[in-house]
Copies of this chain bind each other. A is one copy, B any other.
Amino acid sequence: MKTIYDWHTGPYPARVRIAIGELGLQSQVRFVSVDLRKGEHKTPAFLAKNYSGTLPVLELDDGTLISECTAITQYLDALKGDSVLTGTTPLEQGVIHMMSKRAEIELLDAISVYFHHATPGLGPDVEIYQNPEWGLRQRDKAVRGMHYFDGMLQQQPFVAGSAFSMADITVIGGLIFAELVGLPVPAQCEALRAWYTRMQERHSVQNRITMSEPAEAPV
Contacts and interface: CB of A to CB of B under 8 A. Distances in A.
A95 interface: yes
A173 to B, nearest CB: 15
A187 B47 CA distance: 25
Contacts of A95: 64, 66, 71
Interface stretch (A4-12, A101-109, A204-212): A101-109
A105 B71 CA distance: 14
Copies in the complex: 2
A124 B133 CA distance: 20
A98 B67 contact: yes
B101 A68 contact: yes
B52 A75 contact: no
Contacts of A3: none
A23 to B, nearest CB: 12
Interface residues of A, number: 35
Interface in A27-76: 51-52, 58, 60, 64, 66-68, 70-72, 74-76
Given A51-B148, A148-B51, A94 B74 contact: yes
A97 B78 contact: no
B131 A101 contact: no
A85 to B, nearest CB: 12
Given A51-B102, A105-B52, A134-B134, A91 B75 contact: yes
Contacts of A133: 131
A76 B97 CA distance: 12
A79 interface: yes
A201 to B, nearest CB: 28
